[in-house]
Amino acid sequence: MSLRERVYSVLLVSASDSLNKSLAGLLPVSVYSPVTTVNSVSAAKRLTAERTFDFILVNSPLPDEDGMRFCVDAAFRGSSIVTIMVRTELYPDFFDRASGSGIFVVPKPLTKGTVTLALDWMVSARERLRLTEKKVLSVEEKMDEIRLVNRAKWLLISELHMSEPEAHRYIEKQAMDLCVRRRNVAEEIIKTYG
């Protein structure tokens, strides 16, 4: 699937109406939808507790804080890619605080080119994270299958008095003979003897 076919949800945390309007023009609905805007960190916290976003854009400062703590929490809590926009003179300090958490920092004033570049970075980072999430899910599924097979083996050992190698061979052979995964054979054994 082409990246251009993906649609990314966006949370914009900004108290600046002018910046919000400017960014809205750079976030076409065909790529970024929905775009949800809130004007404080507390509102952003409530919203991120309810749902996840692909991208979180924070325009610092905000009425209730500078937004950095929220960015760090959001980056560690979920699969959101987070960018904070700060005044140019504050960039070095924010970069030092943010870089270890994988948060992008963009200096203000913003240009169309800077915003486009930042969004492209966020898309790349989100897709990389999506691949990692798939790999983690795959490993978790394999670990779950191993647990099921081991449980089935122990049931065969205790109920049918097989040795561990015999139980292992039995599950493998059943899976091959029936053209199913070992997981399916293990689940049937567990249903029968468990």
pLDDT over 90 percentage in the chain: 72
Answer whether residue 127 is part of any domain. Answer: no
Could you say which of 110, 127, 161 is where a domain stops? Answer: 110
SS3 143: helix
* Lateral strand order in the sheet of 8-13: 32-38, 8-13, 55-59, 81-87, 104-108
User: Which residue from 131, 118, 182, 120 is spatially nearest to 156, judged by alpha carbons?
Assistant: 182
Whole-number pLDDT of residue 58: 97
Name the amino acid, one letter, at 26. Answer: L
The CATH number that applies at residue 184 is 1.10.10.10
Segment 128-166, tens digit of pLDDT? 888 777 777 777 788 888 899 999 999 999 999 999 999
Answer whether residue 144 is part of any domain. Answer: yes
Whole-number pLDDT of residue 132: 78
Whole-number pLDDT of residue 90: 96
User: Which residue from 68, 52, 61 is spatially nearest to 104, judged by alpha carbons?
Assistant: 68
Whole-number pLDDT of residue 6: 87
- Given a cut of 90, whether residue 19 has pLDDT beyond it is yes
Answer whether residue 123 is part of any domain. Answer: no
For 46-83, the three-class secondary structure string (H helix, E strand, C coil) is: HHHHHCCCCEEEEECCCCCCCCHHHHHHHHHHCCCEEE
- Given a cut of 50, whether residue 86 has pLDDT beyond it is yes
For the CA atoms of 32, 33, 34, 35, the dihedral, rounded to the nearest 10 degrees, stands at 20
With both helix axes pointing from N to C terminus, report the angle between 68-77 and 91-98 in degrees, rounded to the nearest 10. 30
Residues 172 and 102 in one domain: no
Whole-number pLDDT of residue 115: 92
Whole-number pLDDT of residue 18: 93
Average pLDDT over residues 88-96: 95
Written as six digits, the tokens of 24 are 């809205």
Per DSSP, what are the bridge partners of residue 125? none
Average pLDDT over residues 49-57: 94
Angstrom distance (rounded) from CA 151 to CA 148 = 5
If one counts the domains in the chain, the total is 2
Q: How confident is the model at residue 1 (pLDDT cuts 50, 70, 90)?
A: very low
Residues 14 and 104 in one domain: yes
Q: Which residue has the tokens 């076919």?
A: 5
Angstrom distance (rounded) from CA 35 to CA 158 = 57
SS3 2: coil
Task: Give the structural domain span for 103.
Answer: 3-110
Segment 28-41, tens digit of pLDDT? 999 999 999 999 99
Give me the phi and psi of 116, to 5 degrees please.
Answer: -60, -45
